[in-house]
Every structure is written in structure tokens, then in C-alpha cells.
Structure 1
Amino acid sequence: MDSLITAAARALASGDALGALKRVALRDDAPALALRGIAMAQLGDLVRAKALLKSAARAFGPREAVARARCVVAEAEIALVSRDLIWPPKALESARRVLEAHGDRVNAAHAGNVAIRRLVLIGRLDEAERALAALDPAPLPPALRTAHELVAAGIAVRRLQTQAARAALDRARLSARAAAIPALTAEVETAALVLDTPAARLISHGREHPLLLTEVEALLSSSTLVVDACRHVVWNAGTAVSLATRPVLFALARTLAEAWPGDVARGTLIARAFRGKHADESHRARLRVEIGRLRAELRGLAEVSATKRGFALSPRGAREIAVLAPLVEGAHGAVLAFLADGEAWSSSALAIALAASPRTVQRALDSLAGEGKVQSLGRGRARRWMSPPLPGFPTILLLPGPLPSD
């Protein structure tokens, strides 16, 4: 490898993309194409970066398997950043195995880290946690060790383990300082803001106020009976009853919890659960059936009792009842929460992340676009959707369940 390629690689490793381009901008050999692609990615031109890396992978000879594998890893990271979730993860795993087999453990670990970040993004936390535990960050250079700790922090935050998240972010700060890359330090500080930003609302006794993640964690581990409208779960002292697939039952539970310690009229329950404007005898009969089902689901956690005008919820073994709700609610709150990260998403990537059908997501995007809440860029397969981050908008850490499928 000649001196210009070596110097460009060192510049990229230190975060100096412009310095790298000065050395290889006019060269079209395979190593230069690869370095130019990575530099363009660091500068934010992801389309050009992807094209350069593809050209570099084709230009490397059949004996240069390691170089081609590195290009695949770089392309996978670009796909992740550009929210191209349909990019084949098997190609990344194949590249990781090639790098591991040839002794390039640093880039193999980086490939594994990219794969874990994708799993976290689409909500497969169990798989991400197992894969992260199998990676040893000790031999990694400071920049990759920072990325490793950021992934660990992201998983801990989504698990509502705020103490573990803070510890991982502290380790990430130390690694970022050792790497001496300003952009990396800024990324760590941005990630740390999640712990100091309201993530949900607490509704109790007719009042509501925002909660930080640490407060959410404390609430769910307390003796309070919590009706969690972020994940459609009823919690009490570590015991959880999921109503994510029972929207009518959850609507009833939330309405009763918001009214506690009072009761709720039958007409109000029918309107909230069945969205019926006028309650007739069929609605009342259905309400009795659904209340019976709710009693069965919440057995051991709470009791649903009939009153003169409707029904009331009372906790078993808990002193209080509270509702944990997203900061902003609406028909398409989950889509808006993903778009609030400031990245440009394709509708197919949103469908994967939300575990929803593409048609459902597209209808949600069209509706939000009509309201002026999102905007699209490009056309056809290159079309992307985005919205500017909103102050106080809920993060994707406490999203409700998947959108209803078609």
C-alpha cells in the first residue's frame, strides 16, 4: 500500500474526511475508491459513498477477499444510517466471517456492532443483547469501543435500566475522548440527552405531568398499579399483563384507570372502547362481555366492579393506580416517533421497524403528509420520509405496539 493510501486511511481513522480526500480524490484504484467512499459517508453524502464502495468492491481482485469484506461492512453501515433496512443482513454476516477468518478482528467486531445496531433499531432486543455479550470490546480501538458502549447504552435504555445506561454512556465518553474525534464526542452527548428528556406522561387523580426515564423505571418497579399506554401493558410490582393484542380491553382498562378512584359511566366506556356515539342494547351487551374478559385478564392485579352508573377499577395489593402515556398521542404516533430522529426513512424501513404492513405505513404517511407533519424527498424507490425533531417529542424508547395490520 502506497504512502498516500496509508495517510488517507490514518486521516479517516482520526475523523479527518477532508484530509483523506485531499490525498485520494483524483485516484480511481480500488483502495482509493474505498477510502473516498468512507470519506464521503463521513461528510454525509451517503448516495455517493454507497456508489464508490460498490465500485471499490468490484475493483478488488479475487484474492483480495478482506478488502471486499471491508467494503461490504462500510456499505452496511451506510445502509443502517440511511435507514435502508431491506439491505441484506446475510451479506454483512458473510463479510464478518471472512474478516474473522483472516484475522482482522477489529473490522470483524465492527461488522458485529453494525449488525447489533440494526437489531436494536428494529426492536429485536433479546438478539441484540446476546450478540453484544459475545463481543469483547477490550481489543477494539477507542472509536469502535465508543460505538460498542453506545449500543450497550441503547439496549439498557430500551430495557428501562437507566443505571446501566449511564454507566455505558460514561464509558463511551472516556473512549470518545481517547479517540479525539469531535463528531464521536458529540454523538455520545446527544445519546446522553435521552436520559434527561421527558419520555412519557403520568396521569393520576385527574392530573398529569411528564416523567424522565429514571422516573418511569421507578414507577414500574413501585407498588403502583400502572396501565402502560406506551406498550399496552398493565404492571404491578414486576408482574405484567399484556393487552397489546386486545385493544378494546386496553381501552377499557385505561379509561377506568384514568377515572380512579371514581367510576366511569357505561356510555363513556362504550364511546372510548367501541367508538360508538350512541349506546344501544347491543353495545351494552358487548360491554358486559368485554368487562368480563377484562376481569379475567387482570385477575390478581385489580378488580373491576359494577356501580350504579357504570364500572370502577380497584387495585389488589396496590395503593395507587396510574396511567403511563406517551407525551404525544394520535392515530400515527408510532410513525411520528421514528421520524422524529431526524433521519430520512423509506416506507419499507418503517414497516420493518414497526412490524406493520407496508400498506398500513404508507396510509399513515399519506395522512401525516396531508396534515403537514411529515414531508417526502425523492420519488419511487428513492422516496424518503422525514420530519424535524419536535421539542419534547417522545423517543422511540417507549413506543406503543405494532400498528394494526391490514
Structure 2
Amino acid sequence: MDSLITAAARALAAGDPLGALDRVALRDDAPALALRGIAMAQLGDLVRAKALVKSAARAFGPKEPLARARCVVAEAEIALASRDLGWPVKALETARLTLEAHGDRVNAAHARYLQIRRWVLIGRLDEADVLLAALDPAPLPPVLRAAHELVVAGIAIRRLQSQTARLALARAEHVAREAGVPALIGEVENAVNVLNSPAARLIAHGEERPLWLDEVEAVLGSTALVVDACRYAVRGVGMSVSLARRPVLFTLARALAEAWPADVSRETLIRRAFRLKLSDESHRARLRVEVGRLRAALKPLAGVIATPRGFALVALVSSDVVVLAQPVEERHAALFALLADGESWSSSALALALDTSQRTVQRTLDALATAGKVQPFGRGRARRWMTPPVPGFATTLLLPAPLPSD
């Protein structure tokens, strides 16, 4: 490897893409193409970066499997940055095994972290934990040690483990400053800002207030009956009832919990659960049926009793009832939570992360674009979607990742 390639690689490792381009911008040999691609990725031109890395992989040829494997890892990182979550993950695993076989343990670990970050993005935290447990960050360079701690913090935040997240971010900040890479330091600072932002709202006894992550954790660990409007479940004393696939029942449970210990009129429940302005006897009959289903679903956590004007919630194993709501009430909160990371997402990646059909996501995005809430750029398969994050809120905490008890 010649001196210019070595100098360009060192510049990229230090977070100086312009310095790297100064050395290899006019070269089109395979190593230079790879380094130019990584530099363009650091500068944010992901489309050009992807093309350059692909060209480098072809230029290296089959007789240089190690170099080709490194190009595959670089391409996977670009795909992750551009939120192309449908990128072939088997190719990354094959590249990782090749790197390990040739003794390149640093890049093999980097490939593993890319796999873990993809699992975290789509909410597969258990799979991410399994892969993370097999990695020892101690012998790795500072940049990868910081990446390790950021992944630990990301998983902890989504599982509402505030102390674990804070300790991981403190370690990440220390290691990032040791590495001296400005982009990495900025990424850690952004994660700290997320952790120090309101994560939810508490609604109880007719009042509401914002909650930080450690407070959310405390509420879920308390003896109160919690109607969790972030994950559409009812929780209490170590038990949990998911109503994610029963939206009418959850709407009724939330309305009753917000009014507790008072009752809620039948007209109000019909309006909220069935979205009707007027009601008749058939709607009252339907309400009685749904309330009966809610009683059965909430046993033994809570009951629902009839009152002269409506229904009231009765906590059977708790002394208090609270509602844990999203910090910003939005019809498509989970989609906004994904877009709020500031990266550009494809509709296919959003569908994968939300576990829904791509056509449903496309219709939603088109409607939001018409309303001016999201912004598309590009055409066809290159189309991506973005939106600025909601100021002052930890929007990533809106993601419907399961809690350990789920």
C-alpha cells in the first residue's frame, strides 16, 4: 500500500474526509475508490459513496477476498446510514466470516456492530442482545468501543433502563473524546440529549405532567395500575395485558383510567371508542359488549362496573391508576419516531421497522407529505423521506419496542 493510501486511511480514521480526498480524489485504483467512497459517506453523499464502494469491490476482484470483504462492510454501513434496512444481511455475515478468517478482527467486530445496530433499529432487541454479548470491546480501538457503548445505551433506552443507559453514555463520551473524532463526539452528545429529554406524559387525577426516562421506569415499577398508551398495554404488580391488537378495548381502558376514580358517561365512551358524534340504542348495546370484553381482558388486574350514567374502572390489585401517554400525541407516532432521528428513510425500511406493509407506509407518507409533515426527495427506489425531530422530546422512546416483561 503506497504512502498516499496510508495517509488517506489515517485521515478517515481521524474523521477528516476532506484530508483523505486531498490525497486520493484523482485516483481510480481499487484502494483509492474504496477510500473515496468512505470519505463521501462521511460527508453525507451516500448515493455517490455507495457507487464508489461498489466500484472498488469490483476492481479488487476475486483474488483479493479480504479487500472485497472490507468493501462489503463499508457498503453495509452506508446502507444503514441511508436506512436501507432491506440490504442483504447475508452478504455482511459472509464478509464478517471472511475478515475473521484472515485475522482482521477489528473490521469483523465492526461488521458485527452493524448487524446489531440494524436489529436495534427494527426493534429486535433480544437478537441484538445475543450478538452484543458475544463481543468483547476491551481490545478494540476507541471508535468501536464508543460504538459498543452507544449500542448498549440504545438498547437500554428502548427498554426503559435509565441507569444502564446513563452509565453506557458516560463511558461512550469518555472513549469518544479519547478517539478525538468530532462526528463520534456529536453522536454521543445527541444520545445524551435524548436521554435528558421528556420521554412520556403522566396523566392522573385530571392532571398531566412530562416524565423523564428514569421517572417512566419508576412508574412502571410502582404498585399503580398503569394504562400504557406508548405500548398499548395495561400493567400492574408485575403483570401485563397487551391490547395492541384490540384498539377499541384500549381506548375504553384509557378513557376510564383518565377519569378514575370517577366514572365516564356512556355517550363519552361511545364517542371516543367508536368515533361517533351521536349515539342510539344499538351503540349502547355495542358498548356493553365491548365493556364485557374489557372486563374479561383485564382480569385479575382491574374490573369495570356500571354506574347510573356510564362505567367506572376498579383497580383490583393496585391503590392508584395512572395513564402513561406519549410525549406528543400523534396519529402516526411510531413512524415519526423513526423519522425523527434525522436520517433519510426509504418506505421499505419504514415498513420493515414498523412491521407493516410497504403500501400502507407509502399511503401514510403521501398523506403526511401533502400535509407538510414529511418531506420526500429522490424518485423511484431512490426516494427517501425525512422530517426534523420534534424539539425537546425524546422521540425515539415512542418506538413500540417490547419491554422485558412483554
Q: How high is the TM-score relative to the length of structure 1?
A: 0.96
- 1:345 counterpart SS class: coil
Counterpart of 2:325?
325
Which residue does 2:154 correspond to in 1?
154
Structure 2 Cα separation of the partners of residues 61 and 390 of structure 1: 46
Q: What is the CA deviation profile of residues 344-390 of structure 1, one whole-angstrom value per residue up to 9, with x for unaligned ones?
A: 11111111111111121112112211211111111111111111122
Task: Please say if residues 340 and 393 of structure 1, whose CA atoms lie closer than 8 Å, have aligned partners that are also in contact.
Answer: no
Identity of counterpart residues, as a percentage? 73
Q: Which amino acid is 2:257 matched to?
A: A
Range that drifts further, 7-16 or 150-159: 7-16
The residue that corresponds to 2:376 in the other structure is 376
**Counterparts in 2 of 1:322-361, with a 5 A limit?**
322-361=322-361
Question: Following the alignment from structure 1 to structure 2, what is the Cα–Cα distance between the partners of residues 389 and 360?
Answer: 22
Q: For 1:379 and 1:56, locate their aligned partners in 2 and report how far apart those are by CA, in whole Å.
A: 26
Using the TM superposition, give the Cα deviation of residue 54 of structure 1 relative to its aligned residue in structure 2, in angstroms.
0.3
Per the alignment, residue 230 of structure 1 pairs with 230
| C-alpha distance 162-401 of structure 1, shift in aligned 2 (>3 A) | closer
Contact 1:229 1:400 in 2 (8 A): no
User: 1:176 — aligned with what?
Assistant: 176
The equivalent residue for 2:185 is 185
* 1:229-283 C-alpha deviation (Å, 9 max, x unpaired): 0100111133211111111110110000011110011111111111222222222
Asked whether 1:74 is paired with 2:74, we answer yes
Higher relative contact order (CA 8 A, sep 6+): 2
User: One-letter code of the match for 2:206?
Assistant: G
Residue of structure 1 equivalent to 2:117: 117
**1:394 Cα deviation from its structure 2 partner:** 4.8
Q: Specify the SS of the correspondent of 1:222.
A: coil
CA RMSD of aligned residues (A): 1.4
Q: Give 1:305 deviation, angstroms.
A: 0.8
Structure 1 contact 5–24 (Cα < 8 Å) conserved:
yes
1:166 aligns with 2:161: no
1:280 pairs with 2:277: no
Give SS of 2:20's match: helix
Q: Which amino acid aligns with 1:129?
A: D
**Aligned CA distance change for structure 1 residues 176 and 385 (closer, same or farther; 3 Å):** same
5 Å-filtered alignment, 1:249-288, equals 249-288=249-288
**Helix, strand or coil at the partner of 1:128:** helix
Q: Which residue of 2 aligns with 1:292?
A: 292
Residue of structure 2 equivalent to 1:219: 219
Whether the aligned pair in 2 keeps the contact of 1:150 and 1:188 (CA below 8 Å) is yes
Q: Runs of 4+ in structure 1 displaced over 4 angstroms?
A: none
Q: What is aligned with 2:240?
A: 240
- Return the letter of the residue paired with 2:234: V
Q: What is the rounded CA distance, in whole Å, between the counterparts of 2:182 and 2:233 in structure 1?
A: 41
When residues 158 and 240 of structure 1 are mapped into structure 2, their CA distance, relative to the original with a 3 A threshold, is same
Give the CA deviation at 1:393: 4.1
- Asked if structure 1 preserves the Cα contact closer than 8 Å seen for 2:169 and 2:192, the reply is yes
| Partner of residue 130, structure 1 | 130
Q: 1:336 to 1:90 in 2, by over 3 A?
A: same
- Cα distance in 1 for partners of 2:394, 2:245 equals 22
Q: C-alpha separation between the residues in 2 aligned to 1:111 and 1:262? A: 55
What is the 5 A alignment of 1:44-123? Answer: 44-123=44-123
User: Secondary structure of 1:76's partner?
Assistant: helix
Distance 1:123 1:53 in 2: 28
Matches of 2:186 and 2:401, distance apart in 1: 31
Q: How big is the shift at 1:89? A: 1.0
Amino acid at match of 2:303: E
Per mean C-alpha deviation after superposition, the further-off stretch among 54-63 and 267-276 is 267-276
- Which structure 2 residue ranges, 5 or more long, are not aligned? none
Distance in 2 of aligned mates of 1:25 and 1:155: 38
What is the rounded CA distance, in whole Å, between the counterparts of 2:190 and 2:56 in structure 1? 33
1:73 and 1:173 map into 2 onto residues whose CA distance is 25
Aligned pairs for 1:31-46 (under 5 A) are: 31-46=31-46
Deviations 1:68-118 (A, max 9, x none): 011010110111111111111111111111111111111000000001001
CA contact (8 A) 1:243 1:249 kept: yes
CA distance in 1, matches of 2:238, 2:398: 17
Which amino acid in structure 2 is aligned with residue 356 of structure 1?
T
Instruction: Count matched residues.
Output: 402
Q: Say if 1:226 and 1:321, in contact at 8 Å, map to a contact too.
A: yes
How many angstroms does 1:195 deviate by?
Answer: 1.4
- Matched residue SS, 1:210: strand
Q: Partner of 2:8: helix, strand, or coil?
A: helix
| Counterpart position of 1:202 | 202
- Deviation digits for residues 119-151 of structure 1 (CA, Å, limit 9, x no counterpart): 100111110111111111111100011111100
Q: CA deviation at 1:400?
A: 4.7
One-letter amino acid of the counterpart of residue 359, structure 1: R
Report the AA paired with residue 186 of structure 2. A
SS at match of 1:390: coil
Partner of 1:23: 23
In structure 2, C-alpha distance between the alignment counterparts of 1:359 and 1:205, rounded to whole Å: 41
CA distance in 1, matches of 2:155, 2:364: 27
SS in structure 1 of the partner of residue 305 of structure 2: strand
> 2-side partners of 1:90 and 1:340: how far apart?
28
Verify the 8 A CA contact 1:142 1:175 in the aligned structure 2.
yes
